[in-house]
Structure 1
């Protein structure tokens, strides 16, 4: 014996019938906050802002490049600390 029941209602009506809370206001506030944060971060990702960060005099990009080339510069300069200990 099979019994089938078809219920025609909207999701909001079903939530109310089952006693579940209405989460639409919470979802709207979360989406508004996400949109605000996204628009704030878009300002930092503009091409002019990126170039300003990369080429600023006190930028971390220049310090990173200097740190990258530091070991080669030390070897090319002739680190003589090991040679003095052999005399």
Structure 2
């Protein structure tokens, strides 16, 4: 027997139903800082340093994430 359920809801409704936190204020702050950095005309090196501070794991974190996803999907 196969049962299929379709749920029609917005991402906000799904987030609330699943009990996930609302990260909208953090996302808005991040975007505002990115806009400010772009309009202030920071240099490429300073931008790279800013991004490293916001994503502390950086490239290593992405490699770890990719390795974990590949392991779960059976990819080698």
Match of 2:7 in 1: 7
Structure 1 CA distance for aligned equivalents of residues 12 and 21 of structure 2: 10
Please show how residues 6-45 of structure 1 align to structure 2 within 5 Å: 6-41=6-41
Q: After the TM superposition, which parts of structure 1 deviate over 4 Å for at least 4 consecutive aligned residues?
A: none
RMSD: 1.4
Higher-Rg structure is: 1
Alignment of 1:29-68 (within 5 A): 29-41=29-41
Unaligned runs of 5+ in 1: 45-87
Unpaired runs of at least 5, structure 2: 44-76
TM-score by length of 1: 0.46
Cα distance in structure 2, aligned partners of 1:5 and 1:28? 34
TM-score scaled to structure 2, two decimals? 0.53
Q: Tell me which of the two structures has the higher relative contact order, counting C-alpha pairs closer than 8 angstroms and 6 or more residues apart.
A: 2
